[in-house]
Amino acid sequence: MMRVLVAYASERGGTAEIADWIGTALREAGLDADVRPAGEIAGLGGYDAAVLGGALYAGRWHREARHFVRHHADALAHRPVWLFSSGPLDHTAEEKQIALAPGVAKVARRLNARGHATFGGRLSPDAQGFLASKIAKRSSGDFRDRGQVTEWAAGIARELRGAAV
């Protein structure tokens, strides 16, 4: 059975949950998936493919996603890789394909990523932090769409299973 690493970088838990949904969808499609925080992963040994996701903060991927790419660039370059971001605090991510943040686009090119998706984000109305509390005053809510995430992950599973036969 193919083993897939789903690594995520999340500040407030929204992206972590998206990673869990991806892991569940991959398992339902017959793959073996480990969902883990990017900062806790020592290496990619034993994994046949990777999905890496980060929350978007100030137009950039969460730092742990960026560090992960730097530390594991070689291993990632030798495996099929998919990337995802989570951010927009409105319904745009469900309605259209969002242009990649420039830093994430660079990573996608560098790793020759098989695909990338930007999913909606989540921010609680009582979010802590100077900037977060300001943003939450005008755009709090949960804009993640589990169906969209599951469909994207099912596509990854189809590609990987197709490659394995």
Ligand X SMILES: Cc1cc2nc3c(=O)[nH]c(=O)nc-3n(C[C@H](O)[C@H](O)[C@H](O)COP(=O)(O)O)c2cc1C
Residues found near ligand X in the complex (CB under 6 A)? 10-16, 55-59, 86-89, 121-123, 131-132, 135
CB of 21 to ligand X, least distance (A): 13
* Residues 62 and 54: beta-carbon distance below 8 Å: yes
Minimum CB separation of residue 16 from ligand X in Å reads 6
Q: Is residue 77 within 8 Å of 102, Cβ to Cβ?
A: no
Nearest to ligand X of 53, 80 (CB atom): 53
- Shortest distance in whole angstroms from residue 86 CB to ligand X: 5
Closer Cβ to ligand X, 31 or 117, answer by number: 117
Taking the complex as a whole, the smallest distance from the CB of residue 64 to ligand X amounts, in Å, to: 10
Separation of CA 160 from chain center: 17
What sections of 35-101 are H helices per DSSP?
Answer: 63-71, 73-77, 92-95
Least separation in angstroms between residue 78's CB and ligand X is 28
Structure tokens at 82: 């998919």
Count Cβ atoms within 10 A of the Cβ of residue 157 and give its class: 0-12 exposed, 13-18 middle, 19 or more buried: buried
Indicate the residue among 143 and 157 with the shorter CB distance to ligand X: 143
C-beta closer to ligand X: residue 16 or 49: 16
CB nearer ligand X, residue 107 or residue 160:
107
With CB atoms as reference, the residue minimizing the distance to ligand X is: 87
DSSP 72: T
Contact between residue 119 and residue 86 where contact means Cβ atoms under 8 Å apart: yes
